Amino acid sequence: MKSRYTRLMQLLAVLVAMSAASATALHAQTFTQLYTYSINSGGYSGILPAGLMSQGQDGNLYGTIQNNGTSNFGTAFNMTTAGKPSAFYDFCFLKGCLDGSTPNGGLTLGTDGSLYGTTVIGGTHNAGTVFRVTPSGKLTTLWSFTATGTDEAAPWNPVFEGQDRNFYGTAPGVYQGNYGVLYKVTPKRKLTVLHSFTFKDGDDPNLPTQGTDGNFYGTTLYGDPATCPGYRAGCGVVYKVTPAGKLSVLWSFKGGLNNPPDGATPVGVLTQGYDGNFYGTTFYGGTSANCSAYCGTVFKVSPSGVYKLLHSFTGDPDGAYPDTGLTLGTDGNLYGTTQRGGKSNAGAIFQITPAGKETIIYSFCSATSCADGAYPETPMMQHTDGKFYGNTSGNSLCCSVFFSLDMGLKPFAGLVNWSGKVGATAEILGQGFKGAKAVLFDGVSATFKNVSDTYLTATVPAGAKTGFVTVKTFTSTMKSNREFLVTPQIKSFSPPGAVVGKPVTITGVSLAQTTKVIIGGKAATFTVDSDSQVKATVPSGAKTGEQICITTAGGTACLGKFMVVPFIKSFKPSSGSVGTPVAIKGTSFTGTTQVTFGGVAATSFQVISDLEVDALVPTGAKTGKIQVTTPGGTATSATDFTVTQ
């Protein structure tokens, strides 16, 4: 029987454990107001932090304020994680605001260490700009919108760097008959409109995101009114755009403001989860009538367009009108804010699982005089220290603050670029990198250079597979926030042409994770011999002259033109006189250009299918082989056709 002392000690241990668990739970949801933006004597100047904040190579956060600075036309600033801001560029510095003014979209980090963004007005035509600015304050205008209706104007959203090192953004439709554009800007200052929206496929596009398949996925605020009776602007769409600019509508929000169960007016940037699906929010709609025009939703859409409503906001205390999209946390959950709702109707921070379980983490205006902020309208971001950081907008009286949210998540390695072939340079953000002793790509060691304590570069090593990157220091191990996609390479294939059913050896780099081989436009069976070799079988129906393509977990690589050689299996009848119809069976007969009997060309033949071509025995035909010629080569029968008199 246990003594009283033993039982008391056990009880004490339980209480200590409960206390520790409680402390951990509290620590895991710690909201901290770090900085209060200046009101500047009651005006709006200085209290409207705008758009995205991005982590720079130095570990600070970078963003824009749209209406402060010397001329009240906005600044670019950095903010330490402790809440100390510093402006490093004052917009409308140049005469006539040629450098732009009113930077509403915030800043995104480029692989060159510079920050990229847009201004709503200013520039050569006073229609807005795309700019690059270094952390030291050197600004370069990449594009001045022309205000002609071809490239639109007034870009409210920022730009982001694609994996091809070009920059992508959107501009609203500000001209009659125009509904917005998705554009690409090169570092050499050339702008290309990838897609002009037509209203039915969307109106007023939000900034898209690039999926792991290389396509761009986004939403538009309005569009496709046919699915939204009673709402003339439409409820909005989810779209996919290929790098070549081909757009597909994945989902049209349905219902209208009076009955919008799946949401209306999607806002913010779509976020791709670890499951490959895309997650987003709508400002209006849902199933709760507690708010005017309903309270908004969280939704999920697959890359193929399968939609699912995850959550409908209800106002108090749940939150209402999510205005910023979602941020993927390293725990796999999604985090966001609502502009209104919560306990004080001043907005809230929420967490939602990919399955749709929503939890309110914090309600704003919980402190005296709303010193903790109110009305968040900019997206949160997760710093590599594991914490989330964000801003509230407030109003002319108060409540615009910079805050952190600690959910107890561990520091991680942040990938600046997340795809590349063996030999490419990967850029990684973090902390404690001066003590880095190893960088591994899915377990394969890489050479690296720790440029600073918060930034390092690594070379994608031979044998690396698509997977998470790990940075090891003397004191910790940090896993990347997403997988690095090691893109495959095809160096050669042999033979250059073959008949259906014959093997083809494909050599290259990063082929170990091959999931698909395409030959002649058809899926081929294959075996992976090594990271540098795959063997595939020419499939039935393969067309000649098309590339061989290999798809892995890291992407798709294609090479050359494979010649699918025709093959004669049989012919019937085996003999006949001039004019006799002969049915020739085999493979790869599509595109047949000639049929011969004993070397004499038939003047009449017809391709019945890829497996059959029929021909009449020509005048002058001699007993001998039948041959069928296509662009892929010439097939010769195994036996002779006998020409009778």
Max CA separation in the chain (angstroms)? 117
Q: Do the domain assignments include residue 289?
A: no
Residue 129's DSSP bridge partners are 119, 144
* Cβ–Cβ < 8 Å for 171, 180: yes
- pLDDT for 492: 98
42 band by pLDDT with thresholds 50, 70 and 90: very low
Q: Do the domain assignments include residue 180?
A: yes
Report pLDDT digits (tens) over 419-454.
Answer: 999 999 999 999 999 989 999 999 999 999 999 999
Would the pTM count as exceeding 0.85? yes
- pLDDT for 89: 96
13 pLDDT above the threshold of 80: no
Which residue from 45, 139, 131 is spatially nearest to 88, judged by alpha carbons?
Answer: 139
Per DSSP, which regions of 488-643 are E strands? 489-494, 497-498, 503-509, 514-519, 522-524, 526-530, 533-537, 546-552, 555-564, 567-572, 575-576, 581-587, 594-597, 600-601, 605-609, 612-616, 624-630, 633-643
Cα 368 from chain centroid? Answer: 41
Q: Do the domain assignments include residue 120?
A: yes
636: left (phi over 0), alpha (psi -120 to 50) or beta: beta
46 pLDDT above the threshold of 50: no
Same domain, 41 and 143: yes
Rounded-to-integer distance, Cα 239 and Cα 250, Å? 5
- pLDDT for 275: 96
Mean pLDDT for 547-557 is: 97
Rounded-to-integer distance, Cα 271 and Cα 160, Å? 14
Alpha-helical segments (H) within 537-614: none
395 pLDDT above the threshold of 80: no
Residue 635's DSSP bridge partners are 628
Cα dihedral: 556, 557, 560, 564 (round 10): -40
Same domain, 435 and 551: no
Q: Do the domain assignments include residue 305?
A: no
Same domain, 431 and 536: no
Last residue in a domain, options 427, 460, 486: 486
313 pLDDT above the threshold of 50: yes
Mean pLDDT for 223-252 is: 88
- In order of 5, 87, 154, the CA distances from 128 in angstroms are 76, 21, 5
337 pLDDT above the threshold of 60: yes
Rounded-to-integer distance, Cα 268 and Cα 541, Å? 45
Same domain, 156 and 45: yes
566 pLDDT above the threshold of 90: yes
Average confidence score pLDDT of the chain: 90
Report pLDDT digits (tens) over 572-581.
Answer: 999 999 999 9
256 band by pLDDT with thresholds 50, 70 and 90: low
Report pLDDT digits (tens) over 608-631.
Answer: 999 999 999 999 999 999 999 999
What CATH number is associated with residue 69?
2.130.10.10
Which residue from 566, 458, 572 is spatially nearest to 502, judged by alpha carbons?
Answer: 566
Q: What is the 8-class DSSP label of residue 410?
A: P
- In order of 68, 169, 530, 557, 558, the CA distances from 507 in angstroms are 58, 38, 9, 12, 12
Domain count, the chain: 4
Q: Do the domain assignments include residue 466?
A: yes
Tokens 């009114």, residue? 225
216 pLDDT above the threshold of 70: yes
Last residue in a domain, options 458, 486, 514: 486
The larger pLDDT score, comparing residue 480 to residue 317, is at: 480
Q: Is 2 exposed, middle or buried (0-12, 13-18, 19+ CB in 10 A)?
A: exposed
Same domain, 142 and 71: yes
- pLDDT for 611: 96
* Cβ–Cβ < 8 Å for 217, 239: yes
The larger pLDDT score, comparing residue 14 to residue 390, is at: 390
Same domain, 522 and 591: no
Rounded-to-integer distance, Cα 472 and Cα 469, Å? 10
Same domain, 462 and 557: no
Same domain, 97 and 178: yes
Which residue from 464, 385, 392 is spatially nearest to 429, judged by alpha carbons?
Answer: 385
Report pLDDT digits (tens) over 145-183.
Answer: 988 767 888 899 999 999 999 999 999 977 656 899 999
First to last CA, the chain: 114
Tokens (6 digits) for 505: 């050896």
Same domain, 548 and 459: no
Mean pLDDT for 102-111 is: 95
Same domain, 167 and 87: yes
- pLDDT for 48: 63
Per DSSP, which regions of 296-347 are E strands? 297-301, 307-312, 320-322, 327-328, 334-340
Q: Quick one: what percent of the chain has pLDDT higher than 70?
A: 92
Same domain, 586 and 537: no
Rounded-to-integer distance, Cα 412 and Cα 472, Å? 11
- pLDDT for 285: 87
Same domain, 124 and 48: yes
Q: Do the domain assignments include residue 298?
A: no
Q: Do the domain assignments include residue 512?
A: yes
Last residue in a domain, options 564, 587, 605: 564
β-pair type (633-643, 600-601): unpaired
Range of the domain at 454: 414-486
642 band by pLDDT with thresholds 50, 70 and 90: very high
- pLDDT for 293: 67
Q: Do the domain assignments include residue 371?
A: no
What CATH number is associated with residue 521?
2.60.40.10
